[in-house]
Structure 1
Amino acid sequence: MKVVKFGGSSLADGPSYEHAIKIITSDPERRVVVTSAPGKRNSNDIKVTDLLIKYANAISKNEEQEAMLVRKEILLRYQAIADYFNLPNDQLQPLVDRLAKLPNADYPNNNYLMAAFKAHGERLNAELMSLILNYLGYPARFATPEEVGLKVAGTPNNATVIPETYARLANFSFSNHEIIVFPGFYGITLAGHIATFSRGGSDITGAILARGLHAGMYENFTDVDAIYSANPNVVDHPQPIAKMTYREMRELSYAGFSVFHDEALIPAIQGNIPINVKNTSDPEKPGTLIVPDHSFQPTDIITGVVSGKHFAALYLHKYLLNKEAGFTLRILQILARHNVSYEHMPSGIDDITVIFDKKELDDELVDIICNEIQEEINPDRLEWIDNYAITMVVGEGMRNRTGVINDILNPLAEEHIAVPMINQGASRIAIMIGTYNQDADAAVRAIYHRFFAN
């Protein structure tokens, strides 16, 4: 049995819907379908999720006229898809009623209201997909997180699955002749409210269902042929990756591979479910298979190279800091006071560099943290580096290979690219290189051409 997830661009309008249905019905193993909200139909279009955010904001501000106009625009998106298949209007009425009743539900606060509104892009699309499948003669059942017991904790717009969900999913039964259509992106809190996952929420839902239902495969249909060994916007025609391991994908996602949100892999990793990333427009292509690392035989030294430019670094220098007990602890205590996490902390005998994700900070918080470190720790030198980039070179083939670091650093030296930090993880499948933002793309190209162009 396969769990199949379609992204928003794959369900944006009638023709894309039709293509997705052909994919679903072409393989009897595709038994569970996870929908995203309808995405953009063209570059000037707006996603249904963004329309729902506008709808929620209008309700929060008591702008009834604006809310009515936005609601009508949302319904037109679903109506257009239904009309493409000649679905009778009366079958669409439950979607119309649910969207109209959304403002009247009981929400603890505006954050829960926003989560509920956003989640309905996926919910309405799943319901519509089941209606269309049945209308076309394919037995389908619309199932909701409430029905299967997909329970979550956390904040309204950054939920995490509760482990007991998997036991509930294991008891969810459906016949061999029906297709289950399930909305992505959200779950239900213990108090009974809707809460959404973070980025890549429908990917997370698909992975949860794949694990909980013990699927043999999780197929993730998107708008690219495969995951590539480098960003096509940085390297011309990079090599597609035929097969990679979970941990390779995790390492590459961390620095910027955007096809898969790295958190979405966790349930599949826990359930040892293979993942196949495929192109909705060309489903016959093999795509990229993501598998457990046991018994995996790499065909290349490295699998991929990617840079993330969303980092910053705090550099501290103090003589004899390696002799000073609790030095690092005091830095971490300052960060903890401000609820700031750090990404990495490479160090020497007199130096420490603390690397941050810039999305976690603003200028005011940076000044506060730097001032407190200066007052409490009194380093000889303290420097904030705002234009920091991290390049990840990842590959299971590096584990037992000597000289890989030389092969990475030599092309960087030839391009006169400064490398202020280098760190190899304990797994030996990833080497992390610190560069400056202006050198990040050139670093990726230099490393890629060293390993792949030849």
Structure 2
Amino acid sequence: MIKIAKFGGSSVASAEQFKKVKGIVESDPDRKFVVVSASGKRFSGDNKITDLLLLVNAHITYGVDCTSLLGDIEARYQDIVDELGLKWPLAEKFEAFRKNIKKHSPEYVVSRGEWFTANLMAEYLAMPFVDAADVVVFHHDGSVDMERTAARLKDVMVRKGSFVLPGFYGATVDGQIKLFQRGGGDITGAILARCVDANLYENWTDVSGFLSADPRVVDHPRSIRRITFDEMRELSYMGASVLQEEAIFPVREVNIPIQIKNTNRPADEGTIIRENAEAGEDEHLITGIAGKKDFVSVHIKKAHMSNEVGLVRKTLAIFERYGVSVEHIPTGVDSFGVVVNHDDVRDSIYSIVSDIRKEIAPDDITMVDKLALLSVVGRNMSKRSGTSGKIFGALGEAGINIRMITQSSQEISIIMGVNNEDFDRAIKVIYDRFVRDEVIEPNEK
């Protein structure tokens, strides 16, 4: 069995965290391939190494001396070296980095956080170090060349048997360093899992998997032991994420499950993410509840709308013209709404409404702001009759007005719009009624 163990920034933030990683890796011989992020925050108020390197780039761009800043970064790594008794020549390597820093691209500079961390971790784990620039191949447009990457990773896998790989970056065939988006170490781990045909992709972080609701809203929400990729996507879209969203695609396409685990509490079960629920598992009605505040809904009404070809497309083209991403489009027979993030239309909403009046000529157009969206997600909701009605009834009993309702085509989520001020209370009502005291049923598949 092959397990890919990816450790996030909080898991490699200090020598003490390095020790936890070593204990986890050595506890399972299947963990032969390790991916690490750059050292993260050691405590509240601390800085992530990646953020410090971004600041270094800013100093260089504006001609500000960054000697002190680089000294702080080196000191972070020196503390790890000293406490763990490592022999890797940090001072020599960092001096070379410092001396030539203005010759390198900003992406190269930022990538050094992962590079230094992985080199130290490789020595500590007594594993070979493999530079991501040598195996993760980018096209010049920023996409990954999966064919070349797979060939290189399989080759180094055969030659070395095990290794530590820095996440977040790779390189083009001519050696130009390229970065993934922030949180890209998760993507590196997923690509590695896919390319070496892993059985499991473990993502180690500082939480014990997904929670069924935001702990800032609900006290001690239930942990989600198992979740499908579709459910995770629905919850992540609404902000309930402990995993970089793009990291699911490389492994999902080849049906490799992901397990979210807590470096600080490795005995916790965590969350398994897979394509489908396994037969025999206990099944909850609702997997999780998530949401966001501050949306705007533009509601357009026009008689015989269904007979007018292209009306919705023309409306959406107006939003596109202003560079606004559309979140949801609830529809009726002679009306439809366009829901967008308030920040995206802060400076353009009245111009958009004016253009809609001119180009669409609606009978009526209204705007609802300070709208919150909450998504109730569960693969089993469609199997149990009356679920939607019970949810709406519970909110009605609590005096919460539902401003909008839409359901995913897969019938695994119900999205409701409520007023911002009702957001927290709506989540608590649904959680208390349908999650906290729920009696789970067996999966009969």
Taking structure 2 as the reference length, the TM-score comes to 0.91
Residue-by-residue CA offset, 1:235-268 (whole Å, 9 max, x unaligned): 1111111111111111111111121232221112
Q: In the alignment, is residue 121 of structure 1 matched against residue 113 of structure 2?
A: yes
From 349, 371, 390, the counterpart of 2:354 = 371
From 395, 399, 419, the counterpart of 1:436 = 419
Equivalents in 2 of 1:149, 1:261: separation in Å? 18
Equivalents in 1 of 2:158, 2:149: separation in Å? 19
Paired residue for 1:76? Answer: 75
From 164, 177, 182, the counterpart of 1:194 = 177
* CA contact 2:302–2:335 (8 Å) conserved in 1: yes
Equivalents in 1 of 2:52, 2:22: separation in Å? 25
Deviation larger for 376-385 or 78-87: 376-385
Distance 1:300 1:98, change over 3 A: same
Residue-by-residue CA offset, 1:419-452 (whole Å, 9 max, x unaligned): 1111121212111112222222111111111112
**Secondary structure in structure 1 of the residue aligned to 2:272:** strand
Paired residue for 2:163? Answer: 180
* CA contact 1:166–1:211 (8 Å) conserved in 2: no
Distance 1:193 1:356, change over 3 A: farther
Give the 5 Å matches for 1:105-254.
105=104, 107=105, 113=106, 115-133=107-125, 138=126, 140-152=127-139, 154=141, 159-165=142-148, 167-169=150-152, 171-175=154-158, 178-189=161-172, 192-254=175-237
Equivalents in 2 of 1:119, 1:62: separation in Å? 21
Cα offset, 1:22, TM superposition? 1.2
Equivalents in 1 of 2:382, 2:148: separation in Å? 36
Distance 1:300 1:294, change over 3 A: closer
Equivalents in 2 of 1:250, 1:348: separation in Å? 26
* CA contact 1:227–1:241 (8 Å) conserved in 2: yes
Equivalents in 2 of 1:89, 1:200: separation in Å? 27
Paired residue for 1:56? Answer: 57
Cα offset, 1:343, TM superposition? 2.0
Distance 1:434 1:88, change over 3 A: same
Paired residue for 1:350? Answer: 334
Give the 5 Å matches for 1:413-452.
413-452=396-435
Cα offset, 1:298, TM superposition? 5.2
| Residues matched between the structures, number | 435
Equivalents in 2 of 1:402, 1:425: separation in Å? 17
Equivalents in 1 of 2:358, 2:169: separation in Å? 44
* CA contact 1:314–1:385 (8 Å) conserved in 2: yes
The one-letter code sitting in structure 1 at the alignment partner of 2:328 is H
Paired residue for 2:260? Answer: 277
Residue-by-residue CA offset, 1:295-319 (whole Å, 9 max, x unaligned): 4555111111111225332222223
* CA contact 1:75–1:96 (8 Å) conserved in 2: no
Distance 1:381 1:189, change over 3 A: farther
Cα offset, 1:358, TM superposition? 4.4
Residue-by-residue CA offset, 1:400-434 (whole Å, 9 max, x unaligned): 11111012111111111111111121212111112
Residue-by-residue CA offset, 1:78-123 (whole Å, 9 max, x unaligned): 1111111122373552244234423212x4xxxxx2x333222122
State the Cα RMSD in Å. Answer: 2.2
Paired residue for 1:304? Answer: 288
Equivalents in 2 of 1:27, 1:176: separation in Å? 21
Q: In the alignment, is residue 25 of structure 1 matched against residue 26 of structure 2?
A: yes
Distance 1:374 1:23, change over 3 A: same
Distance 1:438 1:168, change over 3 A: farther
Equivalents in 2 of 1:99, 1:26: separation in Å? 37
**Secondary structure in structure 2 of the residue aligned to 1:271:** coil
Equivalents in 2 of 1:265, 1:384: separation in Å? 36
Q: Which runs of 5+ in 1 are unaligned?
A: 108-112
Paired residue for 1:36? Answer: 37
* CA contact 2:288–2:377 (8 Å) conserved in 1: yes
Distance 1:325 1:194, change over 3 A: same
Equivalents in 2 of 1:343, 1:435: separation in Å? 15
Distance 1:441 1:123, change over 3 A: same
**Secondary structure in structure 2 of the residue aligned to 1:151:** coil
The one-letter code sitting in structure 1 at the alignment partner of 2:24 is I
Cα offset, 1:288, TM superposition? 1.0
Cα offset, 1:44, TM superposition? 2.2
Equivalents in 1 of 2:177, 2:295: separation in Å? 32
**Secondary structure in structure 2 of the residue aligned to 1:141:** coil
* CA contact 1:153–1:161 (8 Å) conserved in 2: no
Cα offset, 1:37, TM superposition? 1.3
Q: Which runs of 5+ in 2 are unaligned?
A: 438-445
**Secondary structure in structure 1 of the residue aligned to 2:389:** helix
